[in-house]
Amino acid sequence: MAVTTVNQKEAAVPRLRLRKAHRKSRNGCRNCKLRRVKCDEVQPTCQRCSAYGVLCNYGSDAPDLQMAREIEDLAVISADATTTLELNRESRDHLISFEKSGTLVTIATVHHKEVLQLACLNPYLMHVILAIAAMHNRLRDTPAPRGPSTFESYHVSQCAALLGRKLSQPLQAEDRDPLWMTSTLLGVMSTSSIPSLIPQEVWPLKPSNTSDLEWLRMAEGKMAVWRIADPLRPNSLFRDMAEEYAQMYDGPLRIGNGQVPPALARLCCITPSSSPDTNPYFTAVHTLATVLKLHAGQLSRAHILSFTSRMERPFKSLLHVRDPVALLLLSLWYVKAGDVIWWLQLRAKHHADRKDILDLLPCGPEQSAGLHDLSSPF
């Protein structure tokens, strides 16, 4: 007969883990709910908001995540359920620059405070804001071009990692605006970045590589986020950009016999019977024609970016194989784009140095007559 000792009896009885009594926060301020942290419900200012540096907002008329002091004096934190990013002095300086130097205004027509509020709740957005502020300062303040800083590269890589993790999870309605803002800023970073400051080491002069035209592939990826984010919905942060987006993506393509300069029409074999289905240059030429006839003071961001946003796959394929006519169209666009959009200036300079591009064209002097006038800004 088995004998059960006292110690065995105690071991056989499962021990209950006693939890410390606590009270769920059901009447906390909206800031704490947005940040998904426990509010102590102390009024008029809870301890969480005081430490975070925002005005506590129990009342319905109080703004969400309104900064209580200037950014210069804040220990700014960007945090979500899994990641916390505390900005050091250098990062705060770039965030101040992003706000005060008008970086955001040059990229998107959105409310600045709303973007900063989203960045405080979404670390992946804060990372790319810091990177693009540093990039803007670098390109604007230095007379001689130089490559990306370690600061820029670090924050872009962190943004990409966190964004990939975010997109792999089920998305909520509140994720749509920060996702589109992030993809927009990453698109700017990708378009601006070049692997070398020496033209001969940059596409299309360098040997072929899988990274060729990476910035164009980035534009395709943005459209996948567009379908998720739906930036044109009524309550979108980008509601004031509906007209600009329509001009870039959905507006009617202007087609007319006198729309395309005769020299380009001859070179690209554009005839009255041509269409996007029959001529791979068709859409690019007609979009470019609108840009070419305007001077820098008349050109808008939408005018310039419509060239790449409307770029169709057959034309991109021609760029990949370095088709001379496609390269010429891209170079003519760069000349105009560099005068209007700061993140395209370095690429435009590389193409502006290619004065020999007309020599690559597969046509005689009679057919290319007039092209030198179009490329005179080179």
- The span from the CA of 92 to the CA of 105, in Å, is 19
Q: Beta partners for 78?
A: 85
**Which stretch of 203-217, 223-237, 247-261, 273-287 has the lowest confidence by average pLDDT?**
247-261
The position carrying tokens 């670098």 is: 138
- Three-state secondary structure call for residue 268: coil
pLDDT-based confidence at 203, cuts 50/70/90? confident
Name the one residue in this structure whose structure tokens are 């964004």.
163
Residue 247 is classified by DSSP as I
For residues 198-222, give the mean pLDDT.
Answer: 79
Q: Which of 24-28, 52-56, 109-113, 370-374 has the lowest mean pLDDT?
A: 370-374
Q: CA triplet 141, 146, 148: central angle to 5 degrees?
A: 95
In eight-state DSSP terms, residue 241 is G
Among 50-54, 79-83, 171-175, 185-189, the range scoring the smallest mean pLDDT is 50-54
**Contacts of 349 by beta carbon, 8 Å cutoff, 6+ apart:** 145, 338
pLDDT at 1: 41
What's the whole-model pTM score? 0.74
Question: What single string gives the DSSP state of each residue in 59-128?
Answer: STTSPTT-BSS-GGG---EEE-SS-EEE--HHHHHHHHHHHHS-TGGGT--S-HHHHHHHHHH-HHHHHH
At 143-169, the pLDDT tens digits run 666 778 899 999 999 999 999 999 999
What string of DSSP letters covers 356-371?
TGGGGSSS-TTTTTTH
**What residues contact residue 210 under an 8 Å CB cut-off, 6+ apart?**
none
Lowest mean pLDDT among 71-80, 274-283, 338-347: 71-80
* Choice among 50-54, 157-161, 219-223, 290-294 with the minimum mean pLDDT: 50-54
Q: Give strand pairing partners of 307.
A: none
What is the four-CA torsion angle of 311, 313, 314, 316, rounded to 10 degrees?
70
CATH fold of 30-72, please? CD2-Gal4 (4.10.240)
The pLDDT value given to residue 206 = 81
The domains of the chain are located at: 30-72, 77-236, 251-375
pLDDT averaged over the chain?
80
